[in-house]
Amino acid sequence: MPRGGSGPVPVSRDGSVSVPVLRPCGTPLDVAPRFAFSRPVILGGVTDNSAFRALCTREKLLAAFGPFPVRLSTANTYSYRKVDVPFQEYVEHLLKPQDPARLGSDTLYFFGDNNFTEWGPLFQHYVPPPFRIPGTSPAYSFGIAGSGSGVPFHWHGPGFSEVIFGRKRWFLYPPDRTPHFHPNESTLAWLQHTYPTLPPAQRPLECTLRPGEVLYFPDRWWHATLNLDTSVFISTFLG
């Protein structure tokens, strides 16, 4: 889904990476357990989703799902408001760069709440990260969103995030370090107004996720996201 708005969001700190990046050369299953319960980590080259990516172009998705409704959520911490629109209307009219002056609670975001009857055949082509946490079962949340959009800080159980098209910036804090943020502010506004005021010791862990990489986020870690480009993405929750 490479189109859908103007160019990438200028984020000057795109270069900083404090989340460790692993490029496992042994079997992936040997690598994950060491990290599964402690820190976020980016795993490179553990899945090949080129076939799934080929099905996620704007043209292919519009042809397959254009008339079907998708459920949008507000892009604030609690995502309390839901709106159903035809997928085609979302892509053609709502998939835009984030307005920095607009609250997250007034911004609609397509992520999760997926209709697995209609979209399940597509998701069967997604190759999830080959790691499991005993006693949990994986559940997918698929999304498409404009540059500068994202979800402000929140937390939940552990999982993985993968970008199929685009780049996604992640900001993470451990469970015992509640970030400074307002739940209805967009991540972009937080980045512009709050982030620059943080002393270095209060800054989050950060990374930029690109296609071919998978971020593991541990249980109850605070996280906020910012799509640097119009992006297609999928999370695998290990709930």
Ligand X SMILES: O=C(O)CCC(=O)C(=O)O
Min separation Cβ 143 and ligand X, Å: 6
Task: List the one residue from 119, 173, 190, 233 that touches ligand X (CB under 6 A).
Answer: 233
Q: Is residue 151 involved in binding ligand X (CB under 6 A)?
A: yes
Runs of H (alpha helix) within the chain? 28-31, 50-55, 58-65, 87-89, 116-123, 187-193
Task: List the one residue from 40, 97, 104, 150 that touches ligand X (CB under 6 A).
Answer: 150
Q: What sign for the dihedral angle of Cα 203, 173, 181, 237?
A: positive
Radius of gyration of the chain (CA): 17
Min separation Cβ 203 and ligand X, Å: 19
Task: List the one residue from 47, 225, 232, 238 that touches ligand X (CB under 6 A).
Answer: 225
Min separation Cβ 30 and ligand X, Å: 25
Runs of H (alpha helix) within 47-89? 50-55, 58-65, 87-89
> For the packed helices 116-123 and 58-65, what is the interaxial angle rounded to 10 degrees?
140
Q: Is residue 114 involved in binding ligand X (CB under 6 A)?
A: no
Q: How far apart (Å, rounded) are the C-alpha atoms in residues 153 and 163? A: 19
Q: Is residue 4 involved in binding ligand X (CB under 6 A)?
A: no
Q: Is residue 111 involved in binding ligand X (CB under 6 A)?
A: yes
Burial class (CB in 10 A: 0-12, 13-18, 19+), 89: middle
Min separation Cβ 180 and ligand X, Å: 18
Q: Is residue 161 involved in binding ligand X (CB under 6 A)?
A: yes
Q: Which stretch binds ligand X (CB under 6 A): 35-43, 98-106, 143-151, 173-181?
A: 143-151
Q: Quick one: tokens of 154?
A: 């929140």
Q: Is residue 142 involved in binding ligand X (CB under 6 A)?
A: no
Q: What sign for the dihedral angle of Cα 11, 201, 186, 82?
A: positive
Q: How far apart (Å, rounded) are the C-alpha atoms in residues 224 and 150? A: 7
Min separation Cβ 151 and ligand X, Å: 4
Q: Quick one: tokens of 219?
A: 């249980």
Q: Closer to ligand X by CB, 27 or 78: give it.
A: 78
Min separation Cβ 179 and ligand X, Å: 14
Q: Which residues bind ligand X (CB under 6 A)?
A: 111, 143, 150-151, 161, 168, 223, 225, 233, 235
